[in-house]
Amino acid sequence: MFNSVRSRLIIVALVVVTAVWQLYSHKTRTGEWLKLGLDLQGGMHLVLEVDDPDGTMTAEARSDMIDRVDRIIRTRIDEFGVEEPLIQKVGGERLIVELAGIDDEDQAKGIVQRNAFLEFKLVLPTIDFEQALSRIDRAVVTSLGVDSIRALGRDVAGQEGDDLTDLLFGTDPAAATDSMTAVSDSAAAAAAAAADSAEAEANALRPFSSLLAFGDIEGAFLVAAEDRPIAEMFLAMPEVERAFPRDQIVLWGADLVSQAARNYYRLYVLEEDSFLTGEELEDATAGRDPQFNQSQVQFQLSRAGGRQFARFSGAHVGDFLAIVLDNEVMSAPVIRDRIGARGQIDMGQGTPLEEARDLALVLRAGALPARINIVEERTVGPSLGQDSIDQGSLAGLVGIVLVVFIMILYYRVAGLIAVGALAVYVTLVLGGLAGMNATLTVPGIAGLILSIGMAVDANVLIFERIREELAKGRVTRSAVDDGFEHALSAIVDANITTLITALILFQFGTGPVRGFAVTLSIGIVASFFSALFVTRSFFLAYLSGRKASDPISI
Amino acid sequence: MRLFQDASYAFIQQRKRAYVISAIVLLVGIGAMAYNVATLGSWANYGVDFLGGSLVQVRFDGEMTAGELRDALGGAQSPPITRFGGEGAAEFVIRAPLDEDASITEVADGVEATLRANLPGRNFEVVRTELVGAKVGGELQQKALMAVLFSFLLTLAYLAVRFELRFGLAAVIATAHDILITLGFLALFRVEIALPTVAAILTILGYSLNDTIVVFDRIRENMNAKGARKTDPVALVNQSINETLPRTVLTSGTTLAVLVALLVLGGAVIRDFTLVLILGILIGTYSSIFVASPALIEIQKRWGVGGVSEKKPRPEPATV
């Protein structure tokens, strides 16, 4: 008997430890104990639909439009600065975009609704740009100042972007202006000398070019992923832009490149003027060439676009062609031949078809920008969300204290056992929410509190039954066993019907209601385990030191 | 501590009185729905979620009265304004209807711009906006209806399998009774129907069923006990209700205690939600005793077992 009680308690302990571990690993992974819904942490929930006022589009066309919008918003997601954006296609015709904790709604809406811009640019050899690098470095140094560059240079690696910005703009901005005035004020000899030394030092500093590595392909540099924010900041400075070679620009590649266990972004050097835009593109489809086992994208240009493309591609056979969506280079295939109105991009041997599909989607997205409407929008400010969290936790705490008080008052030691089982239950629910990465919403908190009521109910059913059996004059041990046995069918039925309701809510609900359904479902499963296994184990432990006929406190 | 130990109240004998009470409450609710249809155009006060429209919630620094806000939004033409949270809170919900042509986001932006223009120097923060297009609202309405219907059907099917069909029927009658009364209450007090309200209604459905199942479980058990054939069904049901009475009171009590804590401390966002739940739990407890069990008796009397001439048929297997 003792063995069985011990093994039961060990199982309970294991389950609790697992739940706590789930919570803890969620905390270390995301920095939060639980993922909070938009109504709790603040944020924006948008539902987008294709604008089709005349109803002339087929369902397929609308679905394709939504895919394009989906693709475009995903490429723009960096602009939101959102940790874990949710972008989800629902019912084939709608797109749900959820952005947690954004500050500027109007900007977010603008980014979502902005049309995609697709262009084709020629990739240039990096030689000209390399010669301009020293000019660019100097431009960075003169506009930021030697001190801040040096402060930066020491810690280039391993610094977060935000910290760097702080570091740069937080340090004495006088450093930059000092050296400038010193240069213009030739009368002050001491100052001039300082300027000379500053200049010498400035030449030695290579703030921008030190970030660049030679590329894996001709026409692109590599920049380590962690250095990208600094490089972006340098590139955004007007002085730097003026130092570029004539008619050349640089744009980032969309994909991460892995080399020697480090992640890099490509920085492409491109001709400034694009020779073709998405307007001239009519269609793009992904396919597979069985002969060479490679994925391909076929595209179709307009007649005018075809002529332009033929002229251009004829002159640049062997060069790279950058496909640029919203100022990001999505792909840069090599031009093999003169291409007219119909072209084909080979993705290389063994490339999965998925990549070809994605590129085709990018091309289509830029070819015919979808007009979309926002059909539903919900925003919650962070202050309101914080209020809900504070009030919800206070209410939950008071509610739990009330339950604990009632149970112990009414059932004494057995009540204490129920409270212990309830504690296990709460841990399980929280661990389950964390483990499933479920989102906690305001109705979710209510569902949680309600399911505490349900968990108590199961205990009450059992205890009442034990009391009845004891009143009939049964021996303690068999009264307890019978109590659990007889209460079982009611507990099972009650839990299953509630589970049915929760599943239906999940099926038909959206957003917060879904959160409620998930919390309720997890709550029901946990309450089942807690009442039938945990309570019983605790009870057995309570009985283990006694004779079968000793009275118990219930 | 013991409550209602060895109780032997004659619940079933009181059923006629309970029918009258239920009928009156139901009639009041249905009357309120009819009145709402006549005055509002729909049986209840549908919120933004279901009708489509916009809701803008603003929080002011310092004092602000509803009158001042209404003036700032165009006096008589102002959209409906309600205070959010208790008296004295400088936080308001403004509900503006949807324009046919304008995109839904323009409505909310318009409200904010009007406030900024007409209340210069006042600091306020838009803490929440909800904009739902008319089409989406209609769909949500349909989905909510489907959700309620489906959970009805599925639970009926489950109960028919687990118990017998008559138990399932009695449970559905009781649940329908609860939901109708809750809807009547929503209509009477014109509580705004939002998505969480539907969740609350479905939760009530679950809770009411839970309560009914516990009583039915006991009735079934007592029916299967030795010598049950000879017992009067009314006495048997009464005995079952009385036996489960301590559990009923205690569970309702603890759940209500938690919900009251939620109502008092949980804040304005979930106040309506909690209120509906509290109401539903009171009705659900009442109905499992005074509606579900009598319904079982009535069904049994009319079509049920124990007739003199007919042979006792085997309980119908589930055919739902």
Q: For position B231, which CATH number holds?
A: 1.20.1640.10
- Among A147-161, B39-53, B206-220, whose mean pLDDT is lowest? A147-161
pLDDT digits (tens, 9 = 90+) for A135-163: 888 888 888 877 777 666 534 433 333 44
Reported ipTM: 0.84
What phi and psi, each to the nearest 5 degrees, are found at residue B319? -135, 40
Is B118 in the same domain as B22? no
- The β-bridge partners of A45 are A98, A378
Which residues on chain B are in Cβ contact (under 8 Å) with A447? 199, 203
Q: Do B133 and A450 touch (CB under 8 A)?
A: no
* 8 Å CB contact between A309 and A321: no
Rounded to a whole number of angstroms, the CA Rg of chain B reads 25
Nearest-by-Cβ selection for A446 from B104, B143, B273? B273
Chain A nearest-CA distance from B317, in A, is 18
Length of chain B: 320
Q: Are residues B232 and B244 in the same domain?
A: yes
Q: What is the pLDDT of residues A472-517, one digit of tens each?
A: 888 998 999 999 999 998 888 888 888 888 888 888 876 667 777 8
Q: Is the pLDDT of residue A246 over 60?
A: yes
- CA–CA separation, A306 vs A272, rounded Å? 21
Average pLDDT over residues B160-168: 85
B297 and B228 together in one domain = yes
Interchain CB distance below 8 Å, A461 and B210: no
Contact list in A for residue B261 (CB cut-off 8 A) is 395-396, 398-399, 402
pTM confidence score: 0.70
Chain B residue numbers with beta carbons less than 8 Å from the beta carbon of A468 are 243
- Say how many domains are in chain B: 2
| Mean confidence (pLDDT) of chain A | 81
Residues in chain B with CB shorter than 8 Å from the CB of A505 are 147, 151, 199, 202
Does some domain include residue B6?
A: no
Which residue of chain A comes nearest to B106, CA vs CA?
A: A374
Helices marked H in B96-232 — which ranges?
104-118, 134-162, 165-188, 195-224
SS3 B234: helix
Contact A442 B125 (CB under 8 A): no
What is the C-alpha to C-alpha distance for residues A93 and A65, in angstroms, rounded to an integer?
A: 8
Q: Which CATH architecture describes the domain A43-114+372-379? A: 2-Layer Sandwich (3.30)
Mean pLDDT of B87-103: 75
Residues A388-392: contacts with CB within 8 Å, 24+ apart? Answer: A388/A39, A388/A40, A388/A442, A388/A445, A388/B267, A388/B269, A388/B270, A389/A36, A389/A40, A391/B265, A391/B266, A391/B267, A391/B269, A392/A442, A392/A445, A392/B266, A392/B267, A392/B270
Shared domain check, B225 and B242: yes
Residues of chain A within CATH 1.20.1640.10 domain(s) are 5-37+382-543
- Is B316 part of a structural domain of the chain? no
> Is B185 a domain residue?
yes
Beta carbons of A446 and B162 less than 8 Å apart: no
Query: Is B309 among the domain residues?
Result: no
Q: Which of B1, B104, B127 sits opposite A374 (nearest CB)?
A: B104
Assign residue B102 the CATH number of its domain.
3.30.70.3220
Residue B83 has pLDDT above 70, yes or no: yes
Domain membership flag for residue B314: no
The residue among A154 and A296 whose pLDDT is bigger is: A296
Last residue of a domain, one of B102, B132, B162: B132
Q: Are residues B173 and B251 in the same domain?
A: yes
Chain region(s) in chain A for CATH 3.30.70.3400: 43-114+372-379
Phi-psi region of A241 (alpha: psi -120 to 50; beta: other; left: phi over 0): alpha
Q: Do residue A511 and residue B195 have CB atoms under 8 angstroms apart?
A: yes
Closest by CA position to A216, among listed A168, A264, A251, A173? A264
pLDDT tens track for A338-348: 888 888 888 87
Report, as an integer, the average pLDDT of B218-231. 86
Q: Comparing A106-115, A269-278, B3-12, which segment has the lowest mean pLDDT?
A: A106-115
Kindly list the residues from chain B whose CB atom is less than 8 angstroms away from the CB atom of residue A473.
none
Q: How do strand A439-440 and strand A35-36 relate by DSSP bridges?
A: parallel
Taking the C-alpha atoms of residue B277 and residue B260, their distance in angstroms, rounded to an integer, is 10
- Check the CA dihedral B84-B86-B91-B92 and report its sign: positive
| Contact: A384, B254; criterion CB under 8 Å | no
| Fold exhibited by the domain A5-37+382-543 | Multidrug efflux transporter AcrB transmembrane fold (1.20.1640)
User: Both B268 and B155 in a single domain?
Assistant: yes
Of the pLDDT bands very low, low, confident and very high (cuts 50, 70, 90), residue B306 is very low
| Together in a domain, B94 and B140 | no
Q: How far is CA A358 from CA A56, A280, A371, B8, in A?
A: 26, 19, 20, 73
Helix (H, G, I), strand (E, B) or coil at B58: strand
Q: Cα(A43)–Cα(A500) distance, rounded to whole angstroms?
A: 31
Residue of B nearest to A404 (CA): B254
Residue A203 in this model has a pLDDT that exceeds 60: no
- B68/B179 same-domain check: no
Answer yes or no: is B320 within a domain. Answer: no
Residues B196 and B114 in one domain: no
| Interface with A, mutate which of B141, B162, B209, B269 (most A CBs under 10 A) | B269
Please name the member of B151, B158, B277 whose beta carbon is closest to the beta carbon of A504: B151
Last residue of some domain: B88, B116, B132? Answer: B132
The alpha carbons of chain A give a radius of gyration, in whole angstroms, of 33
Q: Are residues B88 and B31 part of one domain?
A: no
Note down the domain range covering B227.
12-38+136-303
- Is B175 in the same domain as B274? yes
Gap between the Cα atoms of A434 and B195, Å rounded: 25
Question: Is the domain of B178 the same as that of B278?
Answer: yes
State the average pLDDT over residues A82-96: 80
Percentage of chain A beyond pLDDT 90 is 20
pLDDT at B312: 46
Query: In this model, does residue A3 exceed pLDDT 70?
Result: no
Contacts of B57 in chain A (CB under 8 A): 384
Does the pLDDT of residue B56 top 70, yes or no? yes
| CA dihedral (B98, B99, B101, B104) positive or negative | negative
Mean pLDDT of B121-133: 85
Domain assignment of residue B181, yes or no: yes
Asked if residue B171 belongs to a domain, the reply is yes
User: Per-residue pLDDT for B102 more than 70?
Assistant: no
How far apart are the C-alpha atoms of A244 and A251, rounded to whole Å? 13
Nearest Cβ partner for B258 among A109, A384, A449: A449
